[in-house]
Structure 1
Amino acid sequence: ARENEEEIRQFLQGAHIVFVTAGMGGGTGTGSAHLVARIAKEQGALTMGVVTLPFSGEGTARMEQARDGLERLRRVCDTTIVIQNDKLLELVPRMPLDAAFKLADAVLMTAIKGLTEIVTQPG
Protein backbone atom coordinates (compact mmCIF):
# COMPACT_ATOMS: atom_id res chain seq x y z
CA ALA A 1 0.00 0.00 0.00
CA ARG A 2 2.90 2.36 0.67
CA GLU A 3 3.94 2.31 -2.98
CA ASN A 4 0.35 3.19 -3.95
CA GLU A 5 -0.18 5.84 -1.30
CA GLU A 6 -0.76 8.66 -3.78
CA GLU A 7 -3.34 6.59 -5.69
CA ILE A 8 -5.12 5.76 -2.44
CA ARG A 9 -5.07 9.43 -1.47
CA GLN A 10 -6.64 10.42 -4.81
CA PHE A 11 -9.24 7.65 -4.58
CA LEU A 12 -10.32 8.77 -1.09
CA GLN A 13 -10.35 12.48 -1.92
CA GLY A 14 -13.68 14.05 -1.01
CA ALA A 15 -14.96 11.04 0.94
CA HIS A 16 -16.92 11.92 4.07
CA ILE A 17 -17.07 8.39 5.49
CA VAL A 18 -14.59 5.59 4.83
CA PHE A 19 -15.08 1.99 5.94
CA VAL A 20 -11.84 0.04 6.03
CA THR A 21 -12.60 -3.67 6.00
CA ALA A 22 -10.09 -6.46 6.24
CA GLY A 23 -9.52 -9.97 7.39
CA MET A 24 -6.68 -9.49 9.85
CA GLY A 25 -3.78 -11.89 10.27
CA GLY A 26 -2.44 -12.20 6.74
CA GLY A 27 -0.28 -9.81 4.81
CA THR A 28 -2.65 -7.77 2.67
CA GLY A 29 -5.36 -6.58 5.07
CA THR A 30 -3.14 -6.47 8.12
CA GLY A 31 -0.41 -4.61 6.30
CA SER A 32 -2.51 -2.07 4.44
CA ALA A 33 -5.67 -1.38 6.47
CA HIS A 34 -4.03 1.09 8.84
CA LEU A 35 -2.39 2.94 5.94
CA VAL A 36 -5.70 3.38 4.12
CA ALA A 37 -7.36 4.47 7.37
CA ARG A 38 -4.58 6.97 8.12
CA ILE A 39 -4.92 8.55 4.68
CA ALA A 40 -8.71 8.77 5.03
CA LYS A 41 -8.37 10.35 8.46
CA GLU A 42 -5.78 12.86 7.22
CA GLN A 43 -8.29 13.92 4.56
CA GLY A 44 -10.95 14.55 7.19
CA ALA A 45 -13.16 11.51 6.61
CA LEU A 46 -15.02 9.73 9.39
CA THR A 47 -12.98 6.54 9.40
CA MET A 48 -14.37 3.21 10.59
CA GLY A 49 -12.55 -0.09 10.70
CA VAL A 50 -14.61 -3.27 10.37
CA VAL A 51 -12.35 -6.30 10.59
CA THR A 52 -12.30 -9.99 11.40
CA LEU A 53 -9.82 -11.85 13.57
CA PRO A 54 -8.62 -15.27 12.40
CA PHE A 55 -10.09 -18.57 13.48
CA SER A 56 -8.04 -20.08 16.32
CA GLY A 57 -7.29 -23.02 14.05
CA GLU A 58 -5.29 -20.67 11.81
CA GLY A 59 -2.48 -20.58 14.39
CA THR A 60 -1.04 -18.33 17.06
CA ALA A 61 1.37 -16.53 14.72
CA ARG A 62 -1.52 -15.42 12.52
CA MET A 63 -3.49 -14.26 15.57
CA GLU A 64 -0.50 -12.28 16.91
CA GLN A 65 -0.07 -10.63 13.52
CA ALA A 66 -3.80 -9.84 13.47
CA ARG A 67 -3.68 -8.24 16.92
CA ASP A 68 -0.66 -6.12 15.96
CA GLY A 69 -2.44 -4.94 12.81
CA LEU A 70 -5.62 -4.27 14.78
CA GLU A 71 -3.72 -2.09 17.24
CA ARG A 72 -2.25 -0.04 14.37
CA LEU A 73 -5.71 0.29 12.83
CA ARG A 74 -7.34 1.38 16.10
CA ARG A 75 -4.83 4.22 16.45
CA VAL A 76 -6.07 5.89 13.25
CA CYS A 77 -9.78 5.01 13.09
CA ASP A 78 -12.61 6.91 14.73
CA THR A 79 -14.12 3.56 15.64
CA THR A 80 -13.27 -0.07 15.04
CA ILE A 81 -15.60 -3.06 15.00
CA VAL A 82 -13.94 -6.43 15.47
CA ILE A 83 -15.64 -9.67 14.51
CA GLN A 84 -14.05 -12.74 16.04
CA ASN A 85 -14.37 -15.58 13.57
CA ASP A 86 -14.37 -18.15 16.40
CA LYS A 87 -17.60 -16.61 17.72
CA LEU A 88 -19.22 -17.41 14.38
CA LEU A 89 -18.29 -21.05 14.83
CA GLU A 90 -19.96 -21.03 18.24
CA LEU A 91 -23.19 -20.07 16.50
CA VAL A 92 -22.86 -22.81 13.89
CA PRO A 93 -20.34 -25.30 15.35
CA ARG A 94 -20.24 -27.87 12.53
CA MET A 95 -19.84 -25.45 9.68
CA PRO A 96 -17.12 -26.27 7.13
CA LEU A 97 -14.28 -23.73 7.08
CA ASP A 98 -15.08 -22.39 3.59
CA ALA A 99 -18.68 -21.75 4.65
CA ALA A 100 -17.44 -20.09 7.84
CA PHE A 101 -15.34 -17.65 5.81
CA LYS A 102 -18.42 -16.80 3.71
CA LEU A 103 -20.41 -16.25 6.89
CA ALA A 104 -17.69 -13.92 8.21
CA ASP A 105 -17.92 -11.90 4.98
CA ALA A 106 -21.70 -11.71 5.31
CA VAL A 107 -21.41 -10.48 8.90
CA LEU A 108 -18.96 -7.78 7.77
CA MET A 109 -21.36 -6.61 5.07
CA THR A 110 -24.30 -6.54 7.48
CA ALA A 111 -22.29 -4.45 9.95
CA ILE A 112 -21.26 -1.99 7.26
CA LYS A 113 -24.80 -1.66 5.89
CA GLY A 114 -26.15 -1.02 9.39
CA LEU A 115 -23.51 1.60 10.17
CA THR A 116 -24.09 3.29 6.83
CA GLU A 117 -27.80 3.58 7.53
CA ILE A 118 -27.14 4.99 10.99
CA VAL A 119 -24.81 7.74 9.80
CA THR A 120 -26.59 8.67 6.57
CA GLN A 121 -30.30 8.60 7.38
CA PRO A 122 -31.87 11.54 9.17
CA GLY A 123 -33.59 11.12 12.52
Structure 2
Amino acid sequence: MLEQSKAFSSFAVDDIEKAKFFYQNLLGLIVNDNPMGLLELKIPGVNDILIYPKTNHEPATFTILNFKVRNIDITVDKLVEKGITFEQYNNEYIKTNEKGISRGSSGPNIAWFKDPAGNILSIIEA
Protein backbone atom coordinates (compact mmCIF):
# COMPACT_ATOMS: atom_id res chain seq x y z
CA MET A 1 0.00 0.00 0.00
CA LEU A 2 2.81 2.48 0.80
CA GLU A 3 5.51 0.96 -1.38
CA GLN A 4 5.22 3.86 -3.86
CA SER A 5 5.21 6.57 -1.19
CA LYS A 6 8.19 8.82 -0.52
CA ALA A 7 8.75 8.88 3.22
CA PHE A 8 10.51 11.66 5.10
CA SER A 9 11.55 12.28 8.66
CA SER A 10 10.57 15.16 10.92
CA PHE A 11 11.24 16.35 14.43
CA ALA A 12 10.23 19.17 16.75
CA VAL A 13 12.13 22.07 18.26
CA ASP A 14 11.08 24.73 20.74
CA ASP A 15 12.58 27.68 18.83
CA ILE A 16 12.58 27.58 15.04
CA GLU A 17 15.00 30.53 14.64
CA LYS A 18 17.59 29.00 16.99
CA ALA A 19 17.23 25.73 15.09
CA LYS A 20 17.74 27.48 11.75
CA PHE A 21 20.90 29.19 12.98
CA PHE A 22 22.29 25.97 14.47
CA TYR A 23 21.66 23.71 11.49
CA GLN A 24 22.62 26.31 8.89
CA ASN A 25 25.49 28.22 10.50
CA LEU A 26 27.05 25.72 12.89
CA LEU A 27 26.49 22.44 11.03
CA GLY A 28 26.70 24.00 7.56
CA LEU A 29 23.54 22.38 6.22
CA ILE A 30 21.18 23.86 3.66
CA VAL A 31 18.06 24.99 5.49
CA ASN A 32 15.02 26.30 3.62
CA ASP A 33 12.09 28.14 5.14
CA ASN A 34 8.77 26.47 4.50
CA PRO A 35 5.70 28.68 3.82
CA MET A 36 4.00 27.13 6.86
CA GLY A 37 6.70 28.39 9.26
CA LEU A 38 8.64 25.14 9.18
CA LEU A 39 12.22 24.39 8.17
CA GLU A 40 13.41 21.90 5.59
CA LEU A 41 16.87 20.38 5.98
CA LYS A 42 18.42 19.51 2.64
CA ILE A 43 20.58 16.43 3.10
CA PRO A 44 22.26 15.04 -0.05
CA GLY A 45 20.93 11.66 -1.10
CA VAL A 46 17.86 11.61 1.16
CA ASN A 47 14.46 13.23 1.27
CA ASP A 48 14.23 16.56 3.03
CA ILE A 49 13.89 16.46 6.81
CA LEU A 50 11.16 18.65 8.24
CA ILE A 51 11.71 20.66 11.44
CA TYR A 52 8.61 22.03 13.07
CA PRO A 53 8.04 24.29 16.08
CA LYS A 54 6.33 22.89 19.15
CA THR A 55 5.84 25.15 22.17
CA ASN A 56 5.70 22.26 24.65
CA HIS A 57 8.61 20.44 22.99
CA GLU A 58 10.42 17.79 25.01
CA PRO A 59 13.72 16.57 23.57
CA ALA A 60 13.90 12.99 22.42
CA THR A 61 15.85 10.64 24.67
CA PHE A 62 17.32 8.92 21.60
CA THR A 63 19.35 9.99 18.57
CA ILE A 64 17.14 11.69 15.99
CA LEU A 65 19.78 12.29 13.28
CA ASN A 66 23.03 10.53 12.43
CA PHE A 67 25.62 12.06 10.11
CA LYS A 68 28.26 9.86 8.47
CA VAL A 69 31.73 11.42 8.44
CA ARG A 70 35.07 10.21 7.07
CA ASN A 71 37.19 11.26 10.04
CA ILE A 72 35.43 11.60 13.37
CA ASP A 73 38.37 13.26 15.13
CA ILE A 74 38.65 16.07 12.58
CA THR A 75 34.87 16.57 12.53
CA VAL A 76 34.64 16.70 16.34
CA ASP A 77 37.47 19.24 16.45
CA LYS A 78 35.80 21.45 13.83
CA LEU A 79 32.42 21.34 15.58
CA VAL A 80 34.00 22.09 18.96
CA GLU A 81 35.64 25.16 17.36
CA LYS A 82 32.12 26.31 16.46
CA GLY A 83 31.00 25.94 20.08
CA ILE A 84 29.35 22.52 19.97
CA THR A 85 29.74 20.42 23.10
CA PHE A 86 29.86 16.65 22.81
CA GLU A 87 28.07 14.40 25.26
CA GLN A 88 30.07 12.36 27.74
CA TYR A 89 28.92 8.84 28.56
CA ASN A 90 30.41 6.34 30.98
CA ASN A 91 28.05 3.44 31.53
CA GLU A 92 27.96 -0.25 30.81
CA TYR A 93 26.83 0.35 27.21
CA ILE A 94 28.65 3.50 26.13
CA LYS A 95 31.96 5.00 27.15
CA THR A 96 33.31 8.12 25.50
CA ASN A 97 36.80 9.56 25.61
CA GLU A 98 37.73 13.13 26.59
CA LYS A 99 36.58 14.37 23.14
CA GLY A 100 33.20 12.63 23.49
CA ILE A 101 33.98 9.84 21.02
CA SER A 102 32.92 6.27 21.68
CA ARG A 103 35.38 3.83 20.13
CA GLY A 104 33.65 0.54 20.71
CA SER A 105 34.90 -2.78 19.44
CA SER A 106 31.33 -3.84 18.69
CA GLY A 107 30.29 -0.75 16.77
CA PRO A 108 31.45 2.28 14.81
CA ASN A 109 33.28 5.29 16.20
CA ILE A 110 30.49 7.67 17.19
CA ALA A 111 30.02 10.94 19.07
CA TRP A 112 26.80 12.59 20.23
CA PHE A 113 25.81 16.24 20.63
CA LYS A 114 22.58 18.19 21.05
CA ASP A 115 20.83 20.86 19.06
CA PRO A 116 19.52 23.99 20.86
CA ALA A 117 16.21 22.20 21.59
CA GLY A 118 18.05 19.33 23.31
CA ASN A 119 17.52 16.79 20.51
CA ILE A 120 20.36 14.28 20.27
CA LEU A 121 22.41 14.09 17.05
CA SER A 122 25.45 12.00 16.22
CA ILE A 123 28.38 11.80 13.90
CA ILE A 124 29.48 8.31 12.89
CA GLU A 125 32.78 7.49 11.26
CA ALA A 126 32.07 5.52 8.10
TM category, shorter: under 0.3
Q: What TM-score, normalized by structure 1, do the two folds share?
A: 0.23
| Structure number with higher helix proportion | 1
Q: What TM-score, normalized by structure 2, do the two folds share?
A: 0.23
| Structure number with higher strand proportion | 2
